Amino acid sequence: MHRILPDHRAPLFDQAATRRIEEAAAARLPPHTLMQRAGEATARLARALAPHARRIWIACGPGNNGGDGLEAALHLRTAGYPVTVTWLGQPGHAPADAQRSWQRAHDACVAFADTPPPDLGPADLCVDALLGIGLAPGGAQRAPDPRLRAWLDALHASPAPVLAVDLPSGLLADTGQYAGGLAPPGATPPRSARHTLSLLTLKPALFTGAGRDAAGAVWLHDLGVAPGTEPPCAWLSGAPAPLARAHASHKGSYGDVAVVGGEGLAQRGLGMSGAALLAASAALHGGAGRVLVALLDEGLQPLDTAQPELMLRRFDALDLERLTVVCGCGGGEAVRPLLPRVLAAAPRLVLDADALNAIAADPALQHQLSDRAARGQATVLTPHPLEAARLLGLDTAQVQAHRLQAARLLAERFRCVAVLKGSGSVVAEPGQPPAINPTGNARLATAGTGDVLAGLVGARLASGHRAFDAAAGACWLHGRAADGWREGRALTASALARRLGA
Ligand SMILES: NC(=O)C1=CN([C@@H]2O[C@H](COP(=O)(O)OP(=O)(O)OC[C@H]3O[C@@H](n4cnc5c(N)ncnc54)[C@H](O)[C@@H]3O)[C@@H](O)[C@H]2O)[C@@H](O)CC1
Ligand SMILES: [K+]
Ligand 1 centroid to Cα of residue 64, in Å, is: 5
Average pLDDT over residues 158-165: 98
Distance CA 289, CA 323 (A): 11
- Ion ligand 2: residues, Cβ under 5 Å: 128, 164-165, 169
For residue 23, is it within any domain?
Answer: yes
Segments in 62-133 forming alpha helices (H): 64-78, 96-107
Same domain, 255 and 401: yes
Index of the ligand 1 atom closest to the CA of residue 89: 37
Same domain, 209 and 277: no
Average pLDDT over residues 439-464: 96
Would strands 83-87 and 194-199 be described as parallel, antiparallel, or unpaired?
A: unpaired
Which residue's alpha carbon is nearest to atom 21 within ligand 1? Answer: 63
Residues 114-147: pLDDT tens digits?
999 999 999 999 999 999 999 988 765 667 789 9
Query: Does ligand 1 lie within 6 Å of residue 172's CB atom?
Result: no
Same domain, 124 and 156: yes
Q: What is the pLDDT of residue 141?
A: 60
Which residue's alpha carbon is nearest to atom 39 within ligand 1? Answer: 132
The binding site for (6S)-NADPHX consists of: 64-68, 166, 275, 328, 384, 451
Query: Does ligand 1 lie within 6 Å of residue 38's CB atom?
Result: yes
Ligand nearest to the CA of 203: 1
Same domain, 186 and 264: no
* Domain boundary, last residue among 204, 236, 268: 236
Residues 206-217: pLDDT tens digits?
999 999 999 999
Same domain, 305 and 263: yes
Which residue's alpha carbon is nearest to atom 11 within ligand 1? Answer: 64
For residue 461, is it within any domain?
Answer: yes
For the chain, helix, strand, coil in percent to 5 are: 40, 15, 45
Query: Does ligand 1 lie within 6 Å of residue 96's CB atom?
Result: no
DSSP string, 211-230: HHHHH-EEEEE-TT---TTP
Residues 296-322: pLDDT tens digits?
998 888 888 889 999 999 999 999 999
Ligand 1 centroid to Cα of residue 210, in Å, is: 20
Distance CA 86, CA 81 (A): 16
Q: What is the pLDDT of residue 140?
A: 56
Query: Does ligand 1 lie within 6 Å of residue 65's CB atom?
Result: yes
The rounded percent of the chain whose pLDDT value lies above 90 is 89
Strand segments, DSSP code E, in 114-264 are: 125-129, 162-165, 194-199, 217-221, 234-236, 256-263
Query: Does ligand 1 lie within 6 Å of residue 97's CB atom?
Result: yes
* Cβ–Cβ under 8 Å, residues 228 and 21: yes
Distance CA 279, CA 258 (A): 10
For residue 243, is it within any domain?
Answer: no
Same domain, 224 and 313: no
Query: Does ligand 1 lie within 6 Å of residue 144's CB atom?
Result: yes
Same domain, 260 and 232: no
Q: What is the pLDDT of residue 304?
A: 86
* Domain boundary, last residue among 207, 236, 265: 236
Index of the ligand 1 atom closest to the CA of residue 61: 17
**Residue 100, strand partner residues:** none
Ligand 1 centroid to Cα of residue 182, in Å, is: 15
Average pLDDT over residues 79-100: 97
Residues 30-40: pLDDT tens digits?
999 999 999 99
* Cβ–Cβ under 8 Å, residues 114 and 86: yes
Torsion angle (degrees, nearest 10) of CA 359, 360, 366, 368: 0
Same domain, 265 and 349: yes
Q: What is the mean pLDDT of the chain?
A: 95
Return the closest-CA partner of residue 292 out of 356, 371, 346: 346
For residue 246, is it within any domain?
Answer: no
**Residue 198, strand partner residues:** 220
* Domain boundary, last residue among 174, 209, 236: 236
Average pLDDT over residues 325-329: 97
In the structure, what pLDDT confidence band is assigned to residue 502 with cuts at 50, 70 and 90?
very low
Ligand nearest to the CA of 169: 2
Same domain, 258 and 390: yes
One-letter-per-residue 3-state SS of 314-338: CHHHCCHHHCEEEECCCCCCCCHHH
Residues 251-289: pLDDT tens digits?
777 889 999 999 999 889 899 999 999 999 999 999 999
Index of the ligand 1 atom closest to the CA of residue 180: 29
Ligand 2 centroid to Cα of residue 54, in Å, is: 22
CATH label of the domain that carries residue 122: 3.40.50.10260
The rounded percent of the chain whose pLDDT value lies above 70 is 99
Query: Does ligand 1 lie within 6 Å of residue 143's CB atom?
Result: no
Same domain, 305 and 217: no
Ligand 1 centroid to Cα of residue 189, in Å, is: 25
Which residue's alpha carbon is nearest to atom 16 within ligand 1? Answer: 134
Q: What is the pLDDT of residue 253?
A: 76
Query: Does ligand 1 lie within 6 Å of residue 131's CB atom?
Result: yes
Domain count, the chain: 2
Q: What is the pLDDT of residue 452?
A: 98
Index of the ligand 1 atom closest to the CA of residue 134: 15
Same domain, 355 and 412: yes
Ligand 1 centroid to Cα of residue 310, in Å, is: 56
For residue 280, is it within any domain?
Answer: yes
Full residue range of the structural domain in which residue 290 is found: 251-498
Query: Does ligand 1 lie within 6 Å of residue 11's CB atom?
Result: no
Q: Which of 45, 135, 220 to mutate to test the pocket of ligand 1 (most atoms within 8 A of CB)?
A: 135
Q: Which of 131, 149, 163, 203 to mutate to test the pocket of ligand 1 (most atoms within 8 A of CB)?
A: 131
Same domain, 77 and 219: yes
CATH label of the domain that carries residue 326: 3.40.1190.20
Average pLDDT over residues 331-347: 97
Query: Does ligand 1 lie within 6 Å of residue 352's CB atom?
Result: no
